Every structure is written in structure tokens, then in C-alpha cells.
Amino acid sequence: MINNPDIKFSYKDAGVDTHKAASSISTLKNIIRKTYSAPANGTVGGEFGSFAGVFIPEDNFYQSRHRLVAATDGVGTKIELAKEYGYYAGLGYDLVAMSVNDLLCNGARPAFFLDYVSCGKLDNSWYIPVVESIANACILARTALIGGETAEHPGVMKENDLDLAGFCVGFLEDKKALPRKENIKEGTLIYGIPSSGLHSNGFSLVRKIFSHIRENNSEDRAIVENPEWVISHVLTPTRIYTELADALDKIGVDALVHITGGGYYENIPRVLPDDVAVTLDFSGVPELPIYALLKKYVNPRELYSTFNMGIGLVAFVCPQEKNSIHRYLPEAISIGRVIRKEAGNPEPVFINGIDLP
């Protein structure tokens, strides 16, 4: 074996350009710093670029019996369609929303956020819009982007591969904790708060349908190959329900359900007592164009098991709160009620037109 001392390798030769990553982060520091003033429940300490983020809770954090609440999630295979159609400016909203909306379902308020970006090769054509959108989403969610990590994985990931993960920590006052299962009983009303579209779930199925449409030269081929249509109706950024945090202080909501992977059949039972079920009716929910397309290729039960079908969050409220929810959340749509679970029928979710209660 010949050892040639004249051959010297660098990290860049191996496919990792740390200088480029540092330069890209430096160009983004102003938009990231803007998130520092977003939280209403504390301030950011330390310097930009520190090894770890520092968050200083408001003075009454310990006295008012707050809890720390944390959530983590990613964007999933929606990224693949984003790459295909060259639209990256919504991915940051998807990333932030998936964790922030989960915190809201526990009654918590987000405080700070961290991101993790992994890729085969860093390219500013997608990196800058992704991180900018993460920062803008944090501002909308009133949470500070206090840290993150960008990692190139040459030889493990393809050059155009990327993946995103996010981590959000929030504060929860004991008295505002959700769900309140003891209050959910027969007659409890169920409202849906509209989604902006698919949000970030079901995209492996969406991509399979798109492939089927192209391979079979379906009549829908012109639609899925129209970038403007796909960006507007398929890659729509996930909605961040910031205004709901304010409304929760005025409405006696007993439970919130984030309709993500698993749809209605898996997510709603997470807040139900064992002795009740729900009956749902989506006839009053406007049909978004993407769902009109998916209905051609997916059976109804699978649709409601995979997608949000136009509703991003589901709220459970007692009948006495009906006027309050219409006043403070006027866009909320009545979609059902809680019923007594019948003996011998263990199913907790029934959807009108699909299931028979």
C-alpha cells in the first residue's frame, strides 16, 4: 500500500462546506433576531450564534404554577413535492405549525423553537427560503427561534435530499390544561376550525396518486402538472392557529384535537372518556379543490383516516358555550356532538355518510 503524503483532503472535499453554512446563517441573522421579540411570556438571553439558546421566562413563571410543555415534529414527504415544484417558502410554516398547534391542544402557549435541517448538499436556493419561512412562522406563532442545527450528510443523503425537524417548548398554566375529559359527556358540542389545506399529512398518498395520474395519462394530468395549481392547493402552508390562543381565554373549551396523521379516527379518541363516542357531519364544511381531486382516487373512510378534510383543529365545548364560540371564533363550523357509547359497539368515531352509529 502506497501512502502519498502529498494528498491532503478537506471537509469540503468530503462534501461538507461549513463555511457556506456559516455564511448562509449570517445572512439570515436579522430575520432570526426578529423572532426574539415575538414571545409574550419571556425574553431571549445570550448572543446570536451561541452554542445553546437561552430563554428567560416572565417573572411570574414559578409563582403562577406554570408547567413546561414540549412538542416535536417534521414536515414529512411534503418536502418531496416542494422540491418537485420548486416551492420552499411554505415549509417553515409547516414545520413550526405542526409543533405549535400540538402545544395549543394542551392549552399551552409557545415560547421558543429550534430547528434541525439535514441535507445531502446545502444550497441557498432552498436553504434561505426555508429558514426565512421558519423565522416568519415563529413570529406569527409568537415564539422565538433560539437555536438550530444544519447538517450536510454527503454519501448518506443524495445531493438534493433534505429533511426538517422542529422542536417547540411552551408554558402552561395549571388551570388552563387541556383536555378536561371529565367535562366531555353526552351532548357536548363539536366545532371544526378550518384548515388551509392538506397541512403536512398524507403526502405519501398524495404523491402516489399524482404518480398514478401521470402514468395512466388521467384526465387530471393537466391539473397535477400545473405548478400554480399545485402550489396554491396542495403545497399551501399549514395554518398556525395563533388567534385560537387568545380565544381560549374567553371560551370554555374542554378539548382541542389537532387533525394530523391518522385523521379523525385516530386523533379524536385521544381526548374522549371511555364511555362516549362522537358523531360527525361534514356537510357544512366547504370542500377545498384538493379534496375534490382526492375523492376520485381514495375511498371515503380512507380520506377521513388520512387527511383533515378541511378542518385543522376540532374543539369540544359544552352547549352553554355556543354563543361564545360564535362570538370569538366566528369561522368555527358545527360538525357534531358527543353521544353515549352503545354497548357492544366499541367504535368511538362515526362520520355521517360513511359510518352508521
Return the pLDDT at 20.
60
Query: Does a structural domain hold residue 81?
Result: yes
In a domain, 300, yes or no: yes
Q: Do residues 83 and 210 share a domain?
A: no
Q: Which triple of cell numbers denotes residue 3?
A: 501512502
Spans of the chain below 70 pLDDT = 1-25, 45-54, 61-64, 356-357
Grid cell at residue 71: 412538542
The boundaries of the domain holding residue 259 are: 181-351
Query: Do 169 and 303 lie in a common domain?
Result: no
pLDDT of residue 14: 42
Asked if residue 251 belongs to a domain, the reply is yes
Q: What is the pLDDT of residue 10?
A: 37
Give yes or no: residues 133 and 36 share one domain. Answer: yes
pLDDT of residue 33: 78
Q: Can you give the pLDDT at residue 340?
A: 93
Going by C-beta distance under 8 Å and a sequence separation of 6 or more, which residues neighbour residue 254? Answer: 178, 179, 180, 181, 183, 184, 188, 316, 317, 318
Do 213 and 326 reside in the same domain of the chain?
A: yes
Could you tell me if 132 and 251 lie in one domain?
Answer: no
pLDDT of residue 35: 77
* Distance between CA atoms of residues 40 and 53, nearest Å: 17
Q: Which residues contact 301 (CB under 8 A, 6 or more apart)?
A: 354, 355
Contact 279, 350 (CB under 8 A): yes
Q: How far apart are CA 334 and CA 193, in angstroms?
A: 9
Domain end position, chosen among 176, 201, 236: 176
Measured between its terminal Cα atoms, the distance across the chain in Å is 75
Tell whether 130 and 172 lie within a shared domain: yes
327 CB contacts (<8 Å, ≥6 apart)? 250
- Which of 141, 176, 211 lies at the terminal end of a domain, its last residue? 176
pLDDT value of position 62: 62
Q: Same structural domain for residues 159 and 206?
A: no
- The answer as to whether 313 is a domain residue is yes
pLDDT in tens, 186-233: 999 999 999 999 999 999 999 999 999 999 877 899 999 999 999 999
The pLDDT value given to residue 13: 41
The predicted structure's pLDDT at residue 236: 97
